């Protein structure tokens, strides 16, 4: 999403990434994801952080990659207004039938390519809506 925002010259959209667990906090993105993104001219940057309750105040949308993360975000939401900010990324992907983005971590490198296809399609559609 950051690459698309930059590519379109949009300055008023803030994008952050965070995970539900703390096991990767402070680590850079997965090497295989970084390599797959680089092949598309996208730089994955930053270090992992954990979702905070304050994110519900700081952001208009909290987007989950799968239903498990969506449930965790909804459980963390302090109220119904905050919970209404939680969505699945693939809600925006045209033609998506399964709204979960699969976790490619334990698979082969092609899984990262497939996930990038899904994420890019969803992000393009979301950005167009925004």
* pLDDT single digits (tens) 53-86: 999 999 999 999 999 999 999 999 999 999 999 9
Task: Identify the CA nearest to 77 among candidates 92, 59, 65.
Answer: 59
pLDDT tops 90 at residue 23: no
Given a contact cutoff of 8 angstroms between Cβ atoms, the answer to whether 42 and 82 are in contact is: no
Percent of the chain with pLDDT over 70: 100
* pLDDT single digits (tens) 36-54: 999 999 999 889 999 999 9
* pLDDT single digits (tens) 92-126: 999 999 999 999 988 887 999 999 999 999 999 99
Given a contact cutoff of 8 angstroms between Cβ atoms, the answer to whether 52 and 59 are in contact is: no
* CATH architecture of the domain covering 2-129: 3-Layer(aba) Sandwich (3.40)
* pLDDT single digits (tens) 79-89: 999 999 999 99
Q: Would you kindly state where each structural domain of the chain is located, as residue ranges?
A: 2-129
């Amino acid at each position: 999403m950051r690459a698309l925002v930059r590519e379109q010259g949009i300055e008023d959209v803030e994008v952050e990434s965070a995970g539900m667990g703390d096991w990767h906090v402070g680590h850079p993105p997965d090497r295989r994801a970084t390599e797959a993104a680089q092949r598309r001219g996208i730089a994955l940057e930053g270090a992992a952080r954990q979702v905070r309750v304050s994110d519900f105040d700081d952001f208009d949308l909290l987007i989950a990659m799968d239903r498990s993360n969506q449930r965790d975000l909804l459980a963390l939401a302090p109220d119904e207004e905050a919970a209404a900010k939680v969505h699945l990324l693939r809600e925006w992907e045209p033609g998506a039938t399964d709204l979960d983005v699969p976790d490619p971590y334990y698979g082969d490198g092609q899984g990262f390519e497939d996930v990038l296809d899904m994420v890019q399609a969803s992000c393009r559609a979301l950005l167009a809506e925004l």
